[in-house]
Amino acid sequence: MKTFALHLLLITLATIFLAPILWLIITACGAGSDDFSQLLHGQPIFRWLLNSIFLASAQTVLVVIFSSMAGFALAKYRFFGKRPLVLVMLVTMLLPPQVLLPGIYELIFHLGWINSYWAIVLPGAVSVFGAFLFRQAMLDVPDELLQCARLDGCGELRLWWEISLPLVRPMVGAFTLLSFLGAWNSFLWPQIVLQDENKFPLTVALNNLSGQSVYQQHPAVLMLATLVGILPVVVLFFALQKDFIGSLKAGAIKG
């Protein structure tokens, strides 16, 4: 009886959470050929989609590389000022991201990167949260293994790339997924620094479309465009779900 009640509760909650997605799919599938033609020829939807894929992919690759390198250094090296550095990093995590936007915008402006992808990719390539995640994961990498590799002539970059990263693969997959989702859904910062419509990611472009009266009269067009924008994220999730679940299990066992 308890199992039946638990399953019923889970099914009910899943239905509630999935209802908006089901409504999106049903509305998008109900779009006629005219709506589809309007989406393809009325706006550069696929260009916006490619913009989002490029920006999210570039940020994800860079932030995973830099975060894992920083986590490896924090976990395995002893250096002067390490403790104050860690404290400063922790303090920056307590600050709301919006507080940092004016300073970042001024820096981007003086660098001449307004309306440039550099203004999005480079600030998104650094994550204090990611550095601490990899630090915690790489604390479990045996120091003896690294020392033996050094004795065999292995350099520090190879220690990070060939030994440490494979041992924390679930964390790599989980952080890759989280980083891609965060970059894909980013809206405020791209809206601030990008001015050319052809450079917009899908989030900014769809927001602008939703304010146009012609698309308010044809919600199926927006739903279809939104569905197209969701597909890359769904594909990535299914590709990395094993690593994501593995990292959760490892954290639960460690805790």
pLDDT digits (tens, 9 = 90+) for 54-82: 999 999 999 999 999 999 999 999 999 99
CATH number of the CATH domain containing 187 = 1.10.3720.10
pLDDT band at 249 (very low <50, low <70, confident <90, very high): low
Asked if residue 19 belongs to a domain, the reply is no
Q: How far is CA 19 from CA 3, 13, 153, 154, 210, in A?
A: 24, 10, 57, 53, 21
Asked if residue 7 belongs to a domain, the reply is no
Residue 168 contacts residue 137 (beta carbons within 8 Å): yes
Residue 203 contacts residue 52 (beta carbons within 8 Å): yes
**One-letter amino acid for residue 153 of the chain:** G
Asked if residue 165 belongs to a domain, the reply is yes
For the chain, percent of residues with pLDDT exceeding 70: 87
Domains held by the chain: number: 1
Which pLDDT tens digit goes with each residue over 28-48? 777 666 666 666 676 788 899
Asked if residue 210 belongs to a domain, the reply is yes
What is the average per-residue pLDDT within 100-112?
92
Asked if residue 44 belongs to a domain, the reply is no
> What's the confidence (pLDDT) of residue 175?
94
Whether 154 shows a pLDDT value over 80: the answer reads yes
For the entire predicted model, the pTM comes to: 0.85
Asked if residue 224 belongs to a domain, the reply is yes
> What's the confidence (pLDDT) of residue 129?
94
* Least confident window among 20-24, 71-75, 104-108, 199-203: 20-24
Whether 211 shows a pLDDT value over 80: the answer reads no
DSSP letter, residue 211: T
What is the average per-residue pLDDT within 120-147?
93
Domain with 171 in it: 50-254
Asked if residue 43 belongs to a domain, the reply is no
> What's the confidence (pLDDT) of residue 134?
95
182-188 contacts at long range (C-beta below 8 A, 24 or more positions apart)? 183/55, 183/56, 183/59, 183/60, 183/124, 184/52, 184/56, 184/232, 184/233, 186/55, 186/120, 186/124, 188/98, 188/101
Distance of CA 240 to the CA centre of its chain: 13
Total count of residues recorded for the chain? 255
Whether 252 shows a pLDDT value over 50: the answer reads no
